[in-house]
Structure 1
Amino acid sequence: MSCSMLGIINATTEFDTFQNLTAHRSLASLPYAGRYRLIDFMLSNMVNSGITNVAIFTGQETRSLMDHLGSGKQWDLDRKRDGLFVFSPDGNSRNERFGSFAHFAKNMTYFLRSKQKYVVITNCYTIGTIDFCKILNCHMETGADITEVVHNGNSLQTYILSKDLLLSLFEQYKNQGYYNILDVVHDKRHQFQINLYDWTGYIAIIDSLSNYYQNSLELLQPTVWKQVFTKNEPIFTKVKDEPPTRYKKDAKVTNSMIANGCMIEGEVENSVIFRAVKIGKGAIVRNSIIMQKCKIEENCVLDGVIIDKDVNIGNGIQLKGTTEAPHVVKKGTVQKGR
């Protein structure tokens, strides 16, 4: 399967509701589903659709994202022709609104050198399996200027248009008052033909802390998992080798996702556990998300919590949150026990 499209991922969006989870990383690099990052899903959708030329436009906080993406090898995008391109903002552009036509236009050479006829523009926080080739075929059949992808009537902020039209929008965005493609679509004055494509597969939008928490645990349902992780359309990510997880004599695990490299001695129920996590004897972890290299010591009780990476929860600590307001423990925290 191959599509003559440029893939553009806007990885500049940030939401305040994520609290401490995005204080040291971009939203695009937020860990998800035990071993992935949010950006892996749209990036993998592009690769699975045969898109070999992908540009990621980032905001100011890029270290964790750049470390994750590397050369693009994990997505087969370390190529002599086309491949993965990351465009970060200029150091003196702190007040610029990134992800805009202005941001794109500053890298005009990339667009002019590309050979693809069409462009797909999307975000970094949509979870699901999307075939962009099907949408492109519909776009060409309808003769639309811009095709907007929606799900149950809600915009996925994903658009397909010709590269020539995008370049023309770069040239006129100041005069027309267009900040980005969303402004174009919503402007009732334009003469463009806008086509809506309703994607009917599973979709999750991770635009708030509660959505992150709820959709992460929703993946524990087999019917949801099978729609996101399919045999023919895999989700690629940076591989980190760890030994198999060890389950000690008193360990008890129910309806949970456990990554490799963990040591489980306590009880885990309805939770997502990332790699290299240690859960001590007598500890109980329910309805929680525990990120990589955390240590939960003996006799802790955690329910409805999100624990960022490298956290140490001491003996006997009890933490509780709710579905709407999960309790968040920021990266590197050490909570001394009894």
Structure 2
Amino acid sequence: MKRKLLGVIDATTYHEDLEDLLTHRSLAALPFAGRYRIIDFVLSNMVNSGIRSVAIFPKMQYRSLMDHLGSGKNWDLNRKRDGLFFFPSPIVDNDGNKIGSFEHFAANMDYFYRSTQEYAIIANCNTIFNMDLRPILDWHRQAKCDITEIHHQDGNSMEMYMVKTSLLIKLIEGRHETGYTCMKDVVTAIHNEYSICHYEYDGYAVKIDSIESYFSTSMKLLQSDVWKKLFLKEQPILTKVKDEPPTKYVQDSVVKNAMIANGCFISGTVENSIIARGVKIGKGAVIKNCIIMQKCQIEENCYLDSVILDKDVRVEAGTQLTGTTKSPYVIRKGLKQGALMNS
């Protein structure tokens, strides 16, 4: 019992620089690596670490997130006891970048009161990493810490906190007296009655908080050494399973250093790009250094370089779109882009 963990994922985070990709979804549900969503990484880490009770705390635009997570079956969380819980925020104007809002937690106190796990891990939803959380719990207990904040080896906080569930409940209940609004307030308080420890994680971890970080992190996945650090056989990243036919590559199509999901139809050239499910790329089209999301259609003789197409975008024949690695060209979900629009 003492070694059991309660998983808490704060999915309220919002960054204005990602606005073009978040008009129809929360950051947690942002597609990544062709077939995943960003929340898959922290959720899979929890499940792979033996956590069997996970609470998701979203705020707005969470329909896509709920559709993706469903009952939690793909993460083995559709259980009669414990399992996956979903607690939308009743607060519209709270700060979406304070991880672990005590006001949000307070609206769902029954979840914490009824939990049988002695410890809880609170995490953000937008860090790409693959971590076994059990060694952190062992370290936390041996060091006799009240709260452990997990830091990356670069010195930055990963916005993840290990704490006894009873202390978490105390912090939530006493939020008005202490003035603490979230976990960050507690660990950064100058006068603190708690033992605050810092655990350094030396593995691969990147926080997605801008278009630039989303694009650069995605492109680095095309490097085999980065891929091997993130996708581990013994700690798989789990996601919603979809049954689609294999991708079809027609004669004269060219594919170099690309990740291409199922259900695509490739007639053109794809280089250094990530292509999601159901994408159609026409004859003579050239796609370089791009992220193409689900069910996009790129017609004949298009040229795209450093471009992000959100889901269901149609690019008409002969269109040329060019961005940069620092500022990729982004087209929002469901829009049509044509050659005449660029002239």
Q: TM-score range by the shorter chain?
A: over 0.9
**1:231 shift after superposition:** 0.5
Amino acid paired to 1:95: D
Unaligned regions of 5+ residues in structure 1, if any? none
Distance 1:3 1:209, change over 3 A: farther
Deviations 1:158-200, CA, capped at 9 Å, x for gaps: 0001011111101211121111000100011112111111111
Paired residue secondary structure (1:261): coil
Q: Is the aligned partner of 1:111 residue 2:112?
A: yes
Deviations 1:233-288 (A, max 9, x none): 00110011110001111110111100010011100000000011011110000000
Secondary structure class of the residue paired with 1:253:
strand
Partner-residue secondary structure (3-state), 2:170: helix
Q: Deviations over 1:64-91 (max 9, x none)?
A: 000000000000000000000000123x
Give the aligned partner of residue 291 of structure 1: 293
Instruction: Please say if residues 320 and 339 of structure 2, whose CA atoms lie closer than 8 Å, have aligned partners that are also in contact.
Output: no
Correspondence list, 1:175-194, <5 A: 175-194=177-196
Matches within 5 A, 1:24-43: 24-43=24-43
Counterpart residue type for residue 78 of structure 1 = N
Going from structure 1 to structure 2, the CA distance change for 1:177 and 1:202 (only over 3 Å counts) comes to same
> Given that residues 3 and 50 in structure 1 are in contact (C-alpha distance below 8 angstroms), is that contact kept between their aligned partners in structure 2?
no
Task: Find the aligned partners of 2:155 and 2:53 in 1 and give their Cα distance.
Answer: 29
Per-residue deviation, residues 129-170 of structure 1 (Å, max 9, x unmatched)? 111101000000100111111112110000001011111101
Partner of 1:136: 137
- How far did residue 19 of structure 1 move? 2.6
8 Å CA contact retained: 2:3, 2:118: no
Report the AA paired with residue 308 of structure 2. Answer: I
- Helix, strand or coil for the counterpart of 2:40? helix
Letter of the aligned partner of 2:60 in structure 1? Q
For residues 227 and 171 of structure 2, the distance between their equivalents in structure 1, rounded to whole angstroms, comes to 39
**How many percent of aligned residue pairs carry the same amino acid?**
54
Query: What CA distance in whole angstroms lies between the structure 1 residues aligned with 2:43 and 2:110?
Result: 22
Aligned-CA RMSD value: 1.2
Deviating above 3 A after TM superposition, structure 1's stretches of 4 or more consecutive aligned residues are: 96-99
Q: Distance in 1 between matches of 2:11 and 2:252?
A: 43
Higher mean C-alpha deviation, range 162-171 or range 94-103: 94-103
Asked if structure 2 preserves the Cα contact closer than 8 Å seen for 1:266 and 1:281, the reply is yes
Q: In structure 2, what residue type is equivalent to 1:81? A: R
- Which consecutive residues of structure 2, in runs of 5 or more, have no partner in the other structure? none
Cα distance in 1 for partners of 2:184, 2:94 equals 17
1:336 to partner: Cα distance: 3.3
Match of residue 86 from structure 2:
86
Q: Aligned partners of 2:49, 2:92: CA distance in 1, in Å?
A: 35
- Kindly indicate whether the alpha-carbon contact (under 8 Å) linking 2:59 and 2:92 is maintained by their aligned counterparts in 1: no
Q: Among residues 203, 212, 215, which one is paired with 1:213 in the alignment?
A: 215
Q: Structure 1 residues 96, 153: closer, same or farther in 2, change over 3 A?
A: closer
The one-letter code sitting in structure 2 at the alignment partner of 1:247 is Y
Q: Which amino acid aligns with 2:6?
A: L
CA distance in 1: counterparts of 2:309 and 2:33, whole angstroms: 14
Q: CA deviation at 1:203?
A: 0.7
> What corresponds to 2:276 in structure 1?
274
TM-score, length of structure 1 as denominator length: 0.97
User: Once the 2 structures are TM-superposed, how far is the Cα of residue 334 of structure 1 from its aligned partner?
Assistant: 1.2
Partner of 1:153: 155
**Structure 2 SS opposite 1:306:** strand
Distance 1:62 1:69 in 2: 11
Distance 1:259 1:285 in 2: 15
State TM-score, norm by structure 2: 0.96
* Aligned length, in residue pairs: 335
The 5 Å alignment of 1:32-71 reads 32-71=32-71
Distance across 1 between alignment mates of 2:81 and 2:331:
43
User: How far apart are the structure 1 equivalents of 2:204 and 2:245?
Assistant: 32
Residues 32 and 3 of structure 1: CA distance in aligned 2, closer, same or farther (over 3 Å): farther
Which residue is 1:316 aligned to?
A: 318
- Tell me the distance in 2 between the aligned counterparts of 1:20 and 1:97: 20
Query: Equivalent residue of 2:215, what SS?
Result: helix
In 1, Cα distance between the equivalents of 2:140 and 2:194? 13
SS at match of 1:189: coil
**CA deviation digits over 1:107-143, x for unaligned, max 9?**
1111011100000000000111111101000000100
Q: Distance in 2 between matches of 1:96 and 1:68?
A: 25
Q: Which moved more, 1:137-146 or 1:96-105?
A: 96-105
